[in-house]
Structure 1
Amino acid sequence: MFASTTLTPLRDRLTRDPHVTRLAVILVLLLTFFMLVKTKNFFGIATWQSMAVQFPEFGLMALGVMLTMIIGGIDLSVVGVANMTAIGSATLMMSIAPTGADSPQGYLAVAAAIAFSLIVGAIAGAFNGFLIAKVKIPAILVTLGTFELFTGIAVIITGGKPASGLPAQYGEIMAQRVFGIIPMPLIIFILATVVIALIMYKTAFGTKLYMLGSNETAARFSGLKTDNLIIRTYMTSGIYAAAAGLVMLANYNSAKADYGSTYTLLAVLIVVLGGVNPNGGSGRLSGVILAVVVLQVLSSLLNTFPNISNFYRPLIWGGVLLLVIVVNQWTKKNGLSRLFGVKGNKS
């Protein structure tokens, strides 16, 4: 009786969210296949630690993109923001603590760089939001344009070369392992996820995001300050992109304008795969987190096959994105008929 009572809410939750069910099944299948074909790698702790270091780069970007898609927008500038802020942070750190600087100076440089990165990310996101909310330019055009703008700024700062020579203290902090096991990038991602969860489900701001995404006109007439909400949403996305840039800076020990070039597509794929409606108004954080894990496991599985070149990754991610969109359309009521322009019979 107790087991039945306990499992009932879980069954109800899975029934209400088919995206989570689908992703859970895919994850189990991937893990089973991984375990069977790469038994040694699957059970090695180094494999899982490597995954935990890698996925926060695009996972943090996906969290920001998720918020913008919930309100019916999109943010294609996340990689540009990440690289621009990472390059700015690297330049600032090297100016405060050049080679040979003492330890306290290095830690001061790290603190200043982190604060600088998050502030610049917020400003970049607010700029996106201003153009969308106030100037009334479609989000896809604004963020595509600012992606090029931010990338261009990054190229100008570095001359197209990697910014390297960071203080050792930055690498030491980001290489820490909590309890000797959990990598720092994973801790950052977990904290960022908790903050997003609080925003979405425990604040009026989160409720207003869904209202805005469901019907902007109705939200405006109900008294919501829609322009303010849009700007704050894109500002949050910019902050998360900047946090992703800091993780990339640590993982590569350098910054460059073209790092993570496939992450924009990957972030959008994660959000759509996680069940967020591209038209806005619906989507759950749990589905997006599960999508992050699924794509990281798939990526790590592909890495174990040397015959599969990394050049195929964009092809794979693009194909998966199109497949997910078609499947989502298929599962809607009369979705397949609408997809092919066939009108259903009226009774």
Structure 2
Amino acid sequence: MLKISKESMLGLILVALFILMAIIAPGFLDAYNLSNMMFQLPELGILALGMMVVIVTGGIDLSITYTSSLSGIITALCLSDHFPVAIAIVIGIAVGLICGLLNGFFIAIIGVSPILVTLGSMVLFEGINLTITKGNAISGFPDSFGNIGNMSIGPIPLPVIIFLLLAVMTTVLLNRTIWGRSVYKVGINPVATQFSGLNVKKVLMGVYLFSAFMAAIAAIIMISRYNSAKVDLGSSYLLLTVAAAVLGGTEISGGYGKVIGTVYAVMIFQVLSNGLNLLGIPRTVVDILMGVILIAVLSLNYVLARMSQNKSIKQSIKVSAS
């Protein structure tokens, strides 16, 4: 019997959804609309990759979008003070990594629950953002910086190329490095991983630094595309990053997750959101639908996991009986 993986099934769903929207949504296949979708997709996609790696360890990063906004605001301040573009970008990424280091320290070294730490740091980073900006937007960047979020190479937007390169990098890190394999082991059983000799603290620290790095890169693309930085930069993506990772097949309890699944999930959300918008569906209804999808996927994954567990128990009993 042919067994289709979760990721392959998502790919088929993406193709079917794209064809459906092309048929029922007016203007879906217009060049302008397709280009607009491609420019919007990398922002969520890069954040979702960072969230996915965290979830693989059984953790979560509720501060990822506020890490992104803080990184973006600092980059914007540097640019408005006429720092060279490259220096401003490096400083912005460094600020993001400091945020990741703070999360990693309390989670990996001190041992505090990820949800508590990142909830606290989310509020902390939001407060810092408000203090710096006073609630105002920072704008007015050099044209060379604006090219990052708005330039295309041929028909492909530069942000999409950056997203694909980061997806490939994440795949290689998870599947071809000792650290990546350790990430999965920590997600499956952190105690057994610790006793096997692997440095769990180092692995977790790397995970939250990776998440923060992705947040900083997403911030650079967003402030470049919008030509401004503000407190709520990318804040609407927080739950969508979790939804994309989970819909992409990442186990919320940790131990399993593939980059290609997350990429497919992000594309599904983008196609669905864009198509429903063209059909005149209110944004509030779209948000409700996204929530329903997330609950349905979580419930389905739970049921399938229980069925698989029960099947394994029955097989073990049969083997013991024989």
TM-score (structure 1 length as normaliser): 0.85
Q: Look up the match of 2:112.
A: 137
Judged with a 3 Å threshold, the aligned counterparts in structure 2 of structure 1 residues 165 and 48 are, in CA distance, closer, same or farther, namely same
Cα distance per residue 1:4-53 (max 9 Å; x no partner): xxxxxxx96xx262x224312321221121111136432x2222221111
Whole-angstrom CA distance in 2 between matches of 1:173 and 1:258: 21
Q: State which drifts further: 291-300 or 311-320.
A: 311-320
* Structure 2 counterpart of 1:321: 294
Tell me what 2:74 maps to: 88
Q: Deviations over 1:111-138 (max 9, x none)?
A: 1121111111111111101110112110
Letter in 1 for 2:293: V
Counterpart-to-counterpart distance in 2, 1:328 and 1:195: 27
Alignment deviations for residues 274-303 of structure 1 (CA, whole Å, 9 cap, x no partner): 111111111111111111111111111122
Q: Which residue of 2 aligns with 1:156?
A: 131
Q: How many residues align?
A: 312
1:265 and 2:252 correspond: no
Q: Is the 8 A contact 2:108 2:201 kept in 1?
A: yes
1:303 is matched with 277
For 1:73, what is the secondary structure of its paired residue?
A: coil
3-state SS, counterpart of residue 278 of structure 1: coil
Q: Distance in 2 between matches of 1:312 and 1:125?
A: 34
Aligned partner of 1:66 in structure 2 is 52
Identical pairs, percent: 35
Range with greater deviation from structure 2 (28-37 or 79-88): 28-37
Give the alignment partner of residue 246 of structure 1, picking from 220, 243, 249. Answer: 220
Q: Which among 11, 15, 34 is matched to residue 48 of structure 1?
A: 34
SS of the residue corresponding to residue 198 of structure 2 reads coil
Asked if structure 2 preserves the Cα contact closer than 8 Å seen for 1:166 and 1:253, the reply is yes
Q: How far has the Cα of 1:167 moved from its partner?
A: 2.0
Question: Following superposition, which runs of at least 4 residues in structure 1 exceed 4 angstroms of deviation?
Answer: none
Distance 2:246 2:253 in 1: 11
In the TM superposition, 1:94-133 aligns within 5 A as: 94-96=80-82, 108=84, 110-133=85-108
The 1-side partners of 2:306 and 2:150 are apart by 49
Q: How much has 1:261 moved relative to structure 2?
A: 2.4
- Alpha-carbon spacing, 1:332–1:213, altered in 2? closer, same or farther (3 Å): closer
Give yes or no for the alignment of 1:197 onto 2:184. no
- 1:25: which partner in 2? 12
Q: Check the 8 A contact 1:275/1:284 in 2, yes or no.
A: yes
Task: State the shift of 1:249 in Å.
Answer: 0.5
Per the TM alignment, residue 328 of structure 1 is displaced from its structure 2 partner at its CA by: 1.3
Query: How far apart, in 2, do the equivalents of 1:235 and 1:173 lie?
Result: 23
Contact 2:184 2:255 in 1 (8 A): yes
Which structure 1 segments of 5+ residues have no match? 1-10, 98-107, 338-345
Instruction: Please tell me the residue identity of whatever aligns with 1:33.
Output: L
TM-fit CA distance, 1:314: 3.1
Change (3 A) 1:194 1:335: closer
CA contact (8 A) 2:51 2:241 kept: yes
Give me the whole-angstrom Cα distance separating, in 2, the residues matched to 1:49 and 1:268: 25
Contact 1:262 1:314 in 2 (8 A): no
**Residue 208 (structure 2) aligned to one of 216, 234, 246:** 234
Question: Is residue 133–residue 230 contact of structure 1 (8 Å, CA) maintained in 2?
Answer: yes
Task: Return the alpha-carbon distance in structure 1 between the equivalents of residues 187 and 266 of structure 2.
Answer: 23
Structure 1 residue 309 displacement after superposition:
2.1
**Residue number in structure 2 paired with 1:175:** 150
CA contact (8 A) 1:128 1:146 kept: yes
**Separation in 2, partners of 1:46, 1:336:** 48
Confirm or deny: 8 A CA contact 2:26 2:278 kept in the other structure. no
Distance 1:173 1:132 in 2: 34
2:261 maps to 1:274: no
Query: What amino acid does structure 2 have at the position aligned with 1:248?
Result: M
